[in-house]
Amino acid sequence: MRQVGPYLEQRLNALRDLPLVGDVRGSHFMMCTEYVANKETREVLADGVNIGKRISNHCEARGLIVRPLAHLNIMSPPLVMTEAEVDELIAGLSAGIKAAADDLVREGHRID
């Protein structure tokens, strides 16, 4: 846990480069990603977009469960998680974020 927790933090923080990811918060095995419409102003998407749930749905379709809460996704994986499992989590979350961003663009939402 002492080695994998920081690894999870490091890998999640790399997601900041993706569209929509405005912040990554937490420590070790209690982490969350925050989604924004505009990274510079940190403006969140309208409530009706339901971005946390959209991303959660895309992740679940890929076998990953993340907890949606408004414009956040919360993760509290098992304390026995391995680095390989962290990599799997990151791959699923990244794919879910990208798929949701693609949906929003197709629907005419602006993502800066």
Name the DSSP letter for residue 28. T
Mean pLDDT of 7-34: 96
What's the rounded Cα separation, in Å, for the pair 107 and 101? 10
pLDDT digits (tens, 9 = 90+) for 37-70: 999 999 999 999 999 999 999 999 999 999 999 9
Please say if the pLDDT value at position 2 is more than 80: no
Residue 106 confidence (pLDDT): 95
CA atoms within 13 A on the CB side of 12: 27
Residue 1 confidence (pLDDT): 57
Sheet arrangement for strand 30-35: 21-27, 30-35, 72-75, 67-69
64 in Cβ contact with 86 (< 8 Å): no
Mean pLDDT of 24-33: 95
Closest to 63 (Cα-Cα) out of 82, 89, 32? 89
Residue 68 confidence (pLDDT): 97
The mean pLDDT value of the chain amounts to 95
**69 SS3 class:** strand
Please say if the pLDDT value at position 112 is more than 90: no
Q: Give 37-68 as a 3 state SS string.
A: CECCCCECCCHHHCHHHHHHHHHHHCCCCCEE
Predicted confidence band of residue 111 (pLDDT cuts 50, 70, 90): confident
Residue 80 confidence (pLDDT): 93
Residue 110 confidence (pLDDT): 86
